[in-house]
Amino acid sequence: MSEMNELQILRHSASHVMAQAVKRLFPETKIAIGPAIDNGFYYDFDTEHTFTPEDLEKIEAEMKKIAKENLKIERFELSREEALELMKDEPYKIELINELPKDAVISFYKQGEFTDLCAGPHVAYTSKIKAYKLLSATGAYWRGDEKNKMLQRIYATAFSNKEDLTAHLEQLEEAKKRDHNKLGRELELFTTSEIIGQGLPIMLPKGARIIQLLQRFVEDEEQKRGWQLTKTPLMAKSDLYKVSGHWDHYQDGMFVLGDEEKDKEVFALRPMTCPFQYQAFLNRGRSYRDLPMRLNETSTLFRNEASGEMHGLIRVRQFTISEGHLMCTPEQLEGEFKGCLELAIYMLKTLGLYEDVSYRFSQWDPDDREKYIGTDEQWDEAQGMMKKILDHLEIPYKIGVGEAAFYGPKLDIQIKNVHGKEDTLITIQIDQMLAEKFGMEYVDKDGIKKNPYIIHRTSIGCYERTLALLIEKYAGAFPVWLAPVQVKLLAIADRHLDYVYEVKKRLEDAGIIRIEVDDRSEKIGYKIREAQLEKVPYMLVIGDKDIENNTVSVRSRKDGDIGAMSIDEFIEKICEEVRTKKL
């Protein structure tokens, strides 16, 4: 384990106390691992008993007893033979000991009757662990491999004082309210079906509308910036992926249709669009005058994610992405990279996500050569160019060794969901290898044929993941321009319905098209509460006075009752919000 800070040491010690409590309550349990993590700690257990919320309460109570016992936490070392004998009834610890290098120091920590294989460090006494909370129990494959046995993992957190713990638990409650997987279903944005399969969400009308709005916005903006739209197949023969390198370096992540040993032709669903879009470049001979060539596509992609990795809309097996590939000369590379980054930042600012992202310069790992194509010199050159560009653009990046694509380094724009899990939202990659593999050439000013540089990029990333993050960012209360229903018309009584439908027609004629009428014979207070739960930006409540004065009574999701307005006044207000994409 890398060097831990005080809070991590406290949490790791708390994981041992939790494991001790579990062993006291469920003696047949076998213990696996229990590390400190970003927001707390967990421990994995092998037991026939399924942990329930009531069990977590009992374990917490037992942890409290162990803390009160003020047990000293003592470190000791053993030889390999002694260690194996001590842990002979703990198969997971035996496996870990056997994997240690021959010259490794094998250390243990003991507190009362409980001893655990551990590198440490730990607090001195169990009484130091006072502010903690067990959060959930879930399944987890041993070592994260679905081929291994499914264990039970208890997630928990601990802090140095009760005030920090309370603040964190309140934050977790807020995160639960905003969790897109829960809220997105409640708002009927998307659903899933076991008969269709895991990682294959179904967009319901409201969710499909938001994605359509995002796609139109992205494609129009890309067109303004000189990108040309392509539409390419969803699958190809294995021959294509063999040229690109995906067959050798990415096949485990692909859905392959057929068997190479039996079938004349084997196809695979596409995990990326790049080798398909290259065919547009290869359509005819190219010269430097054709460059830069910017090709964009709203691409549906397929990746064979492990079942344990999938989560709501964040990580799925079929998704749609704002993908693009740009072929350029070396002289154009920095300017075009800057243009791709400016487009991504414009998207993030427009959606209100800009302040939430960080940047990672993802590099290759020279110690893992099998993962990549190209020579050391090509990687040094590509990474050197990217470093120069990022430094010149003053991008505040962290370095991620081993995070590069198999064909080149990339800038990953990272974002965290409400639970603190970080994912990549947008990528911009420099590639000087695939053009040569595909025979992509242009005739330069000097009459010599050369391979173009390629920039792989997304402008808004995966639409499903972006929607998930927007649900969480706005707790389902989307900005007016993105709201699946922008205006809800509420008649106080049935006699007001004729006027309600006149207002609807006026709004639609003005370009406000996402309108619903609640014409049910329900009390107006009930209708308003329903619209609020649906997070509709504006409710127009219509009664006798509105008909008399040719007005609408406006209720804002944000500001509550803002009074009567003329229809033209309201149209001007909402159209301005849509036009400016006000957040």
- Report which DSSP code applies to 16: H
Q: What is the pTM of this model?
A: 0.83
Summarize the confidence of residues 163-190 as an average pLDDT: 94
Equal CATH topology for 6-168 and 190-232+272-474? no
Residue 3: pLDDT band with limits 50, 70, 90: low
Higher-pLDDT residue of 376, 308: 376
Lowest mean pLDDT among 4-18, 81-95, 160-174, 301-315: 301-315
Quote the CA–CA distance of 374 and 430 in Å, as a whole number: 13
As a whole-number percent, the residues of the chain with pLDDT over 90 amount to 83
Position 266 scores a pLDDT of 94
Summarize the confidence of residues 90-99 as an average pLDDT: 96
Q: Which of 132, 108, 133 is nearest to 122 (CA)?
A: 108
Position 316 scores a pLDDT of 94
Q: Return the axis-axis angle of helices 333-351 and 205-224, rounded to nearest 10°.
A: 140
Position 161 scores a pLDDT of 94
As a whole-number percent, the residues of the chain with pLDDT over 70 amount to 99
Summarize the confidence of residues 421-447 as an average pLDDT: 93
Distances (CA, A) of 474 to 21, 479, 573: 40, 8, 21
Position 27 scores a pLDDT of 95
Summarize the confidence of residues 178-198 as an average pLDDT: 95
| pLDDT tens digits for range 540-566 | 999 999 999 999 999 999 999 999 999
Q: Which CATH architecture has domain 6-168?
A: 2-Layer Sandwich (3.30)
Instruction: Check pLDDT > 50 for residue 343.
Output: yes
| pLDDT tens digits for range 26-55 | 999 999 999 999 889 999 999 999 999 999
Q: Is the peptide bond before 292 cis (omega within 30 degrees of 0)?
A: yes
> What does the H/E/C string look like for 247-304?
HHHCHHHCCEECCCCCCCCCEEECCCCHHHHHHHHCCCCCEHHHCCEEEEEEEEEECC
| pLDDT tens digits for range 503-536 | 999 999 998 889 999 999 999 999 999 999 999 9
48: three-class secondary structure by DSSP: coil
Instruction: Check pLDDT > 60 for residue 1.
Output: no
Q: Number of H helices and number of E strands within the chain?
A: 18, 28
| pLDDT tens digits for range 286-295 | 999 999 999 9
Domain map (residue ranges) of the chain:
6-168, 190-232+272-474, 487-579
Summarize the confidence of residues 310-317 as an average pLDDT: 90
Summarize the confidence of residues 198-215 as an average pLDDT: 97
Residue 373: pLDDT band with limits 50, 70, 90: confident
> CATH assignment of 190-232+272-474?
3.30.930.10
State the pairing for strand pair 293-302/228-229. parallel
| pLDDT tens digits for range 219-246 | 999 999 999 999 999 999 999 999 998 8
Which residues, including other chains, have CB under 8 Å from residue 440's CB and lie 6 or more apart?
Answer: 278, 281, 282, 286, 327, 434, 451, 452, 454
Residue 4: pLDDT band with limits 50, 70, 90: confident
> CATH assignment of 487-579?
3.40.50.800
Answer whether 514's CB lies under 8 Å from 209's CB.
yes
167: three-class secondary structure by DSSP: helix
Mean pLDDT of the chain: 94
Lowest mean pLDDT among 63-72, 125-134, 383-392: 383-392
